Amino acid sequence: MRVLLLSDLHYTLPQLDWVVRAAPSFDLVVLAGDHLDISSPVPLDAQSVVILRYLSLLQAAGRVAVSSGNHDLTGPDAHGEQTALWLADARRAGVPTDGDSLLIDDTLVTICPWWDGPAGRAALQAQLAADAARRPARWLWVYHWPPLGSPTCWTGKRDYGDADLKGWIDDYRPDMVLTGHVHQPPFKPDGSWADRIGGTWIFNAGRQIGPVPCFIDIDLAAGSASWRSLLGNERLALTDATAPRRTVF
């Protein structure tokens, strides 16, 4: 199984065009949040219509898993907490998204929403507990924000990570957490696109300008992962005990 991980495309249409072209080469395309861009002059409701069209193209090309990020929130849910309401249309079109789980052969993919309050947090914890009880040989999470204290959340000036995620990783021990949100870590000397917490790999591809996004190619059968960006290509073996020393700086 080969997974393409991207995040934080922020309504960059040339990059989305590239993803559609690349998708047939992968068994699963993971978009780990921030599909919309709150700083764009294009209204969010118009952006969401365009992104939904791209998601339908990706679904037609193969399997896709789509989580929300903080830029994707468009209104309150039944609890009054902000959520990506528009992703319900993606689910109705057959695209696995927030709160869904996807089983591909011996791999379970849990798609975690960007939660905005205690009700969302409790729902996510219940989702993780339920999937933990049925985990197969391999378990992957799609979660927009890397854990606090990981080099995958290092901005170059501070740790900017999710304070709850590390505890959930310790409790449930997934094989991988596929993240985004913090754009800078792979491009900073003390940051990284990969980290290992116990037996769990954390991946964050970061964000770059241009028509081709930075991305991570995870080949589960070959036991490898590679990060590709304007800086070049870095690679690791999933059997490594720790993330490799950075060589691009």
CATH of the domain at 16: 3.60.21.10
Asked if the structure places residue 190 within a domain, the reply is yes
Q: Is residue 221 part of a domain?
A: yes
The C-alpha atoms of residue 47 and residue 69 are separated, in whole angstroms, by: 14
Structure tokens at 203: 């991946």
Residue 54 has phi, psi (to 5 degrees) of: -60, -40
Domain annotation covers residue 244: no
pLDDT tens, residue order, the chain (249 aa): 999 999 999 999 999 999 999 999 999 999 999 999 999 999 999 999 999 999 999 999 999 999 999 999 999 999 999 999 999 999 999 999 999 999 999 999 999 999 999 999 999 999 999 999 999 999 999 999 999 999 999 999 999 999 999 999 999 999 999 999 999 999 999 999 999 999 999 999 999 999 999 999 999 999 999 999 999 999 999 999 888 877 655
Task: Classify residue 170: in a domain, yes or no.
Answer: yes
In this structure, which amino acid lies at residue 214?
Answer: C
pTM, to two decimals: 0.97
Count of the separate structural domains present in the chain? 1
The answer to whether the CB of 163 falls within 8 A of the CB of 130 is no
Q: State how far the alpha carbon of 145 is from the alpha carbons of 83, 114, 185, in Å.
A: 15, 8, 12
The distance in angstroms from the start CA to the end CA of the chain is 31
pLDDT for 245 equals 79
Whole domain around residue 114: which residue ranges? 2-237
Please indicate, yes or no, if residue 137 is contained in any of the structural domains: yes
Give the amino acid at 221: A
Query: Is the residue at 172 inside a domain?
Result: yes
